[in-house]
Structures are given as C-alpha cells and as structure tokens.
Amino acid sequence: MTTILVDADGCPVIQETIALANEFKLPCVLICDTAHEMHREGAETITVSKGADAVDFVLVNRIKKGDIVITQDYGLAAMALAKQGLPIDQNGRLYTNENIDQLLAARHQAQKIRRAGGRLRGPRKRTAEQTEGFVSSLRNLCDSL
C-alpha cells in the first residue's frame, strides 16, 4: 500500500496532506526533528534528533516503491526518485527523472554564489494559489494509484 511520507520540518501543507491521505485512506507519516516537533490527528509522527539531514535519512530509509514523498529538498527528492518514490513539492510540482538534474544544478549554483558572499532573493510569501496547486497535484497523484 502506498504511504505518504512528509518531510515535515517547515512544510506549509501538512493539514492539506493529512486531509487527502484520510480521504484516499492512505497512511500518512510526518517526519520532523525535535526543533519542529508536532503531532496531528490522522497522521503518524516520527520525531528524530536535530542534525543535518537527520530527517532526510530516516525518511529515505522508509520509502518503498510507489510511496508519495512531500519535500521541498531537491536532494531528498533525488533519493526518493532513486527508490522509485513519487516526490512532490509543497506547490504541487512533481519531481521527475527529467527535471531533477536541472534542479540540483540550480541548487549547486546558488550554494556557490552564497559561499562567495553573494546574496539571493528568499522565497516569496506563500499564496492560496500555491496551496490549491499542491492539493490539485496531490489529488491527481492519489487518483492515479
């Protein structure tokens, strides 16, 4: 059975994810570290120690073929794809083998700019349209299972 796994640290669509998981009768697992500890009705929560990529490693070890992974981390999305998971970001963009290399390259370039002292714009304020796009994409993904 497909499970929805959520990289829950800073995820803005947790409630929407849980609602859709319950609607489709899919298990939902929130994985967070102790700095973001949370418990939501309708989902299992796994809390891990704080540390670089601690949540990512626990999440990756739980992925089975066909599991849905919600993350905004390109590296985690790449690992999910390698395990034949179905990664999606908080705006509804599906990570695929066709787009992940470009996204990782852009992330690498941004890291180089920051390390050199450069500054980049931060993310814009979240909109209702982004949440609606996420819900629509996740619903389509669940429908296709």
CB-based contacts of 14: which residues, under 8 Å, 6+ apart?
Answer: 6, 8, 30, 38, 40, 43
Q: Which residues of the chain have pLDDT under 50?
A: none
Tens digit of pLDDT for each residue in 66-75? 999 999 999 9
User: Do 22 and 42 form a contact (C-beta atoms < 8 A)?
Assistant: yes
pLDDT tens-place string over residues 121-141 = 777 889 999 999 999 999 999
